[in-house]
């Protein structure tokens, strides 16, 4: 096994073009486990932790760029206001040791539908920027990044550079069901993002399908109900049954399987509960902020 | 490959390291520092916790070359003076009865020292959260939490105990 350690992005992309089988490594929280257990023997690994550009957080007018190599601990420390949904998810990743090392680039590259950061990124419409020497940079919506479990839309000569996350345009929530409180892979997870300006709601469903899913019928239900009842303007309490129906539609949008962590039926139920709670909490948070602002 | 780290303030180098090896393997097998324990090798248990450039990490998940030139602090660096000397967090663990089989202890000592450096008086809730990556299957954690509070209160009172060890093992 060769160990490659480029110090600039250009050098890394040149190496990746030359050796497409080289596996990128940042926090090692997935790859090192596979190497330690003899499940993977890549012909080369490419350490990306020496590339400054990948470790940068950059704020734009209506979004924030998060470098693919920024660890969760730093996201939590710096972005609680900008991307609250992502931060709620970051807080549930592994343990302090894992959060010190794990990155968005790793979550995307590993392409597991159980990646904790992915549902909130899908819910708010985040976009990954990837690059190659030959074709330069291109953007892939996080929604489309996983094509099937453990396989991403990344070409063999490409690396993930950064992720563009829109500034929160309304309350966001994230919920995860696992077997205990810490150090746990999700059985089901759910991200929710209100866009109060666009009067829309976004969702992301994790661990309950081959890819991260969203629930268009649930979005439509909320958007229509809120519009008809004038809730976007009035900020009134949600009518009875809206949250429950939203949850049911999220559960129906999932495509779970039975596996060692849980049954498909349990996952749908858990998602219905998570989604109903999330929308209730998010809307109440909005009502309180609105109330205190008035 | 060859790697060079600064471990507990001293330069350590190792030759002939397999590139797929972890920082943990290099520390234990090449650098003669077996304090960090190898238990799960998947970042779940925290018994290999070390500080790398001041950050608490699982040494089993750091690829050997990634740590090149980095500043590593292991449990050996938290002991007291001399052979068998005991540092203040270690002493608190001993006094509180927080050690049973002892396998998780080195990782916990590193994690607790790191925690107290940032938060000298953590609440139960905070320290449970901060130590969530260090699993103990013996104690049920109650004595470990007692030990953290004991170490914290001794540091606050300026009465932290570090003992100097002798070459003679304890009876």
Do B93 and B65 have their domain in common? no
Does residue A293 carry a pLDDT above 90?
A: no
Say which DSSP state A22 is in: P
Does residue B165 carry a pLDDT above 80?
A: no
Beta strands in A95-199 (DSSP E): 127-132, 136-141, 146-148, 151-152, 159-166, 172-177, 188-195
Compute how many other C-beta atoms are within 10 angstroms of the C-beta atom of residue A289: 13
Mean confidence (pLDDT) of chain A: 96
C-alpha distances (whole Å) from A142 to each of A65, A117, A136, A222, B146 are 13, 10, 19, 23, 45
Asked if the structure places residue B166 within a domain, the reply is no
Do B74 and B93 have their domain in common? no
The SS3 of residue B85 is coil
Say how many CA atoms lie within 13 Å of A218 toward its Cβ: 33
pTM of the model: 0.95
Q: Which of B19, B68, B133 sits opposite A98 (nearest CB)?
A: B133
- Output the domain CATH number for residue B123: 1.10.150.120
Residue range of the domain that includes B30: 3-78
Provide the number of CB pairs (under 8 Å) joining chain A to chain B.
89
Q: Are B21 and B62 in contact (CB under 8 A)?
A: no
Do B93 and B153 have their domain in common? yes
Phi, then psi, of B61 in degrees rounded to 5: -105, 0
Chain segment B2-51, per-residue pLDDT in tens: 999 999 999 999 999 999 999 999 999 999 999 999 999 999 999 999 99
Chain B 47-106, CB below 8 Å of chain A: which residues? 49, 55-58, 60-66, 68
Domain end (from B78, B96, B112)? B78
Asked if the structure places residue B118 within a domain, the reply is yes
Q: If you write DSSP's letter for every residue of A109-122 in order, what string do you get?
A: HHT-TT-TTHHHHH
CB contact under 8 A, A25 and B133: no
Domain end (from B25, B49, B78)? B78
Q: Are B38 and B29 in contact (CB under 8 A)?
A: no
Q: Which of B20, B64, B133 sits opposite A94 (nearest CB)?
A: B133
Do B72 and B113 have their domain in common? no
Beta bridge partners of A187: none
What is the C-alpha to C-alpha distance for residues B98 and B92, in angstroms, rounded to an integer?
8
Percent of chain A predicted with pLDDT > 70: 99
Do B74 and B94 have their domain in common? no
Chain segment B37-47, per-residue pLDDT in tens: 999 999 999 99
What is the C-alpha to C-alpha distance for residues A57 and A165, in angstroms, rounded to an integer?
11
Domains and CATH numbers, chain A: 174-289 (3.30.390.50)
Interface pTM, i.e. ipTM: 0.94
Q: Are B28 and A11 in contact (CB under 8 A)?
A: no
Instruction: Calculate mean pLDDT across residues B162-167.
Output: 71
Judged on CB neighbours under 10 Å (0-12, 13-18, 19+), A37 is: exposed
Chain segment A148-176, per-residue pLDDT in tens: 999 999 999 999 999 999 999 999 999 99
The nearest alpha carbon in chain B to A38 belongs to B20
CB contact under 8 A, B43 and A29: yes
Task: Give chain A positions within 8 Å (CB) of B133.
Answer: 94-98, 182-183
Do B69 and B12 have their domain in common? yes
Does residue A82 carry a pLDDT above 90?
A: yes
- Output the domain CATH number for residue B31: 3.10.20.30
Nearest-neighbour CA in chain B from A165: distance (Å): 26
Do B107 and B144 have their domain in common? yes
Chain A 5-24, CB below 8 Å of chain B: which residues? 5
Do B70 and B123 have their domain in common? no
Token pair 């990954």 is at which residue?
A: A128
Per-residue b/e over A93-127, b at no fewer than 16 CB within 10 Å?
A: bbbbbbbbbbbbbbbbbbbbbbbbbbbbbbbbbbb
Domain end (from B44, B78, B112)? B78
Chain segment B75-124, per-residue pLDDT in tens: 999 998 888 899 999 999 999 999 999 999 999 999 999 999 999 999 99
CB contact under 8 A, B19 and A33: no
> What total number of domains does chain B contain?
2
Task: Give chain B positions within 8 Å (CB) of A2.
Answer: 19
Asked if the structure places residue B171 within a domain, the reply is no
Asked if the structure places residue B163 within a domain, the reply is no
Task: Give chain B positions within 8 Å (CB) of A96.
Answer: 56, 111, 129-130, 132-133
CB contact, 8 Å: A3 with chain B?
yes
Do B18 and B58 have their domain in common? yes
């Amino acid at each position: 096994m060769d160990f490659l350690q480029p110090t600039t992005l250009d050098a890394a992309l040149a190496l990746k073009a030359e050796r497409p089988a080289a596996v990128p490594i940042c926090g090692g929280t997935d790859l090192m486990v596979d190497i330690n257990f003899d499940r993977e023997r890549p012909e080369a690994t490419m350490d990306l932790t020496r590339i400054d550009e990948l470790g940068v957080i950059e704020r734009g007018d209506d979004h924030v760029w998060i470098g693919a190599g920024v660890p969760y601990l730093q996201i939590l420390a710096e972005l609680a206001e900008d991307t609250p949904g992502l931060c709620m998810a970051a807080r549930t990743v592994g343990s302090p040791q894992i959060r010190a090392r794990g990155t968005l680039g790793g979550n995307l590259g590993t392409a597991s539908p159980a990646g904790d950061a992915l549902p909130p990124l899908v819910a708010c419409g985040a976009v990954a920027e990837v690059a190659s020497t030959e074709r330069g940079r291109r953007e892939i919506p996080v929604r489309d990044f996983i094509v099937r479990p453990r396989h991403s839309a990344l070409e063999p000569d490409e690396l993930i550079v950064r992720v563009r996350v829109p500034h929160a345009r309304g309350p966001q929530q994230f919920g995860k069901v696992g077997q205990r409180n810490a150090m746990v892979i999700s059985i089901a997870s759910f991200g929710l993002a209100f866009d109060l300006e666009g009067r829309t709601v976004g969702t992301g469903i994790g661990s309950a399908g081959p890819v991260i899913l969203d629930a268009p019928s649930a979005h439509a239900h909320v958007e229509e109900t809120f519009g008809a009842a004038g809730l976007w303007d009035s900020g009134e309490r949600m009518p009875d049954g809206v949250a429950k129906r939203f949850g049911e539609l999220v559960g129906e949008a999932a495509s779970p399987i039975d596996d060692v962590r849980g049954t498909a039926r349990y996952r749908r139920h858990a998602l219905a509960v998570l989604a109903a709670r999330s929308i209730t909490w998010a809307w109440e948070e909005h009502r309180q902020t609105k109330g205190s602002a008035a | 490959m060859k790697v060079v780290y600064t471990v507990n303030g001293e330069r350590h180098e190792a030759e002939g390291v397999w590139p797929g090896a972890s920082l943990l393997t290099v520390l234990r097998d090449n650098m003669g520092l077996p304090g960090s324990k190898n238990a799960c090798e998947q970042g779940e248990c925290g018994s290999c916790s070390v500080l790398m450039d001041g950050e608490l990490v699982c040494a089993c998940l750091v690829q050997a070359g990634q740590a090149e030139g980095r500043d590593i602090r292991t449990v050996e660096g938290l002991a007291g003076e001399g052979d068998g000397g005991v540092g203040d967090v270690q002493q608190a663990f001993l006094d509180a009865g927080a050690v049973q089989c002892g396998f998780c202890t080195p990782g916990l000592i590193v994690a607790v020292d790191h925690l107290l450096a940032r938060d000298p008086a953590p609440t139960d809730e905070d320290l449970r959260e901060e130590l969530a990556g260090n699993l103990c299957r013996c104690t049920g954690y109650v004595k470990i939490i007692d030990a953290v509070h004991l170490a914290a209160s001794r540091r606050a009172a300026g009465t932290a105990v570090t003992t100097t060890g002798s070459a003679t093992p304890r009876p």
